[in-house]
Amino acid sequence: MKYAVLFPGQGSQSVGMAADVRATRTDLLGDPANAVLGWDLDQLIADGPQERLTATQHAQPALYATSYALFDEFSKAVDSAPTAAAGHSLGEYTALAASGALDFFEGLALVAARGEAMAECAAASASGMAALLGSDEKTAESIAEARRSDGGELYVANLNAPGQIVVAGGSDDIAWLVENARNLGVRRAIALDVAGAFHSPFMADAADALKGALDETSFSPLAFDVYANATASPTQDPSATLAEQLTAPVRFAETLTNLARNGVSTFVHVGPGDVTAGLAKRTVPGADVRVVSDIESAHAVARDLSVQ
């Protein structure tokens, strides 16, 4: 049986998440993590407030760390390794750590640098993102290209699943899109509560800043394929694809489709929430989709997969 593990990105964080794994895996989520981050990871997740946890520079390390710890629990209980892994945006870092390409703590430092760079970049310009309802990729690209030709800044940023497309742009461009969606052939555009225009040229300075950290990172051989967001195919050069990821669209639907074409029939979301599980269900009809969001489910899913 071929299965792939999927890791969530920013937006899946919540106060109190992963309480059991935080309590038991202090080797990963306790003082050693705090020493890397310079702030108390467990306390912030446990006590919040949500606004502080949701800040880009906090949410990304928190999700990376808890998702990896859950994967470690799952991998110890299951009798076969994944065929491949993928992660949504930030989740690509977790996937690389899970594959052995990144040491956990080195990856945590890299994610912290990414979060800081993205937060600074988002604060430098008025920008945001919007979800398009009732749109396909061709329509979204056409709208974005037309807006840019008129002097605006609008880009397709996330191709998450059929019917789930997100665009990024300047605040004025997002407001224009929300107001004119129906006239543009989109049922509705909903502005998202995010800090900036992620996965677009608005993140160019963050990508430049991150390249320095990536150049100092040593990647080991991968134990299994990790599909890159920017290419929707197995990464050959993690440093390059992680840098490209910040300004390129997240091609998650295409990633899921390619995994299925390569024989993956089971998808296991590992981490807080269940966002990637929902995307897998929408993108690959009939797929066996599981969710690992705590230690109990990690062991239960591992048992199920081990007997198949």
Query: Is residue 224 located within the same domain as residue 149?
Result: no
Distance of alpha carbon 199 from alpha carbon 248, whole angstroms = 5
Residue written as token pair 């329509």:
139
| 295: nearest Cα among 97, 29, 101 | 29
- Residue 306 — very low, low, confident or very high, per pLDDT cuts 50/70/90? confident
Q: Judge whether 46 lies within some domain.
A: yes
pLDDT over 90, % of the chain: 95
Q: Judge whether 43 lies within some domain.
A: yes
Which tokens go with 257? 């489709």
User: Residue 143's domain is classified under what CATH number?
Assistant: 3.30.70.250
Q: Which residues of 144-183 are buried (b: 16+ CB within 10 A; e: fewer)?
A: beebeeeebbbbbbbbbbeebbbbbbbeebbebbeeebee
Query: Is residue 106 located within the same domain as residue 139?
Result: no
Residue 255 has a CB neighbour count (10 Å cut-off) of 27
3-class SS of residue 270: strand
Query: Is residue 34 located within the same domain as residue 151?
Result: no
- Domain count across the chain: 2
Determine contact, residues 127/152, Cβ cutoff 8 Å. no
Burial of 300 (0-12, 13-18, 19+ CB in 10 A): middle
| 95: nearest Cα among 237, 262, 225 | 225
Which tokens go with 120? 């600074």
- Encode pLDDT of 277-295 as tens digits: 999 999 999 999 999 999 9
The contacts of residue 261 (CB under 8 Å, 6+ apart) are: none
| 16: nearest Cα among 66, 56, 61 | 66
Query: Is residue 41 located within the same domain as residue 69?
Result: yes
Cα distances (angstroms) measured from residue 41 to each of 16, 107, 263, 273: 11, 15, 38, 18
Q: What is the dihedral of CA 28, 32, 33, 34, to 10 degrees?
A: 140
The contacts of residue 244 (CB under 8 Å, 6+ apart) are: 207, 228, 230
Measured at the CA of 251, the angle between CA 292 and CA 63, to 5 degrees, comes to 35
pLDDT at 250 over 70: yes
Q: Judge whether 84 lies within some domain.
A: yes
Q: Judge whether 196 lies within some domain.
A: no
The residues assigned a catalytic role are: 89, 199
Query: Is residue 209 located within the same domain as residue 107?
Result: yes
Distance of alpha carbon 93 from alpha carbon 86, whole angstroms = 9
- Write out the residue range of the structural domain in which residue 257 sits: 3-122+201-306
- Encode pLDDT of 189-203 as tens digits: 999 989 999 999 999
Query: Is residue 259 located within the same domain as residue 299?
Result: yes
Determine contact, residues 196/118, Cβ cutoff 8 Å. yes
User: Residue 271's domain is classified under what CATH number?
Assistant: 3.40.366.10
pLDDT at 307 over 90: no
Determine contact, residues 62/45, Cβ cutoff 8 Å. yes
Query: With DSSP H G I counted as helix, E B as strand and the rest as coil, what are the percentages for the chain, rounded to 5?
Result: 50, 15, 30
- Encode pLDDT of 74-109 as tens digits: 999 999 999 999 999 999 999 999 999 999 999 999
Supply the pLDDT for residue 308: 66
**What rounded mean pLDDT belongs to the chain?**
96
* Residue at which a domain ends, from 157, 191, 225: 191
Q: What is the mean pLDDT of residues 48-74?
A: 97
pLDDT at 18 over 80: yes
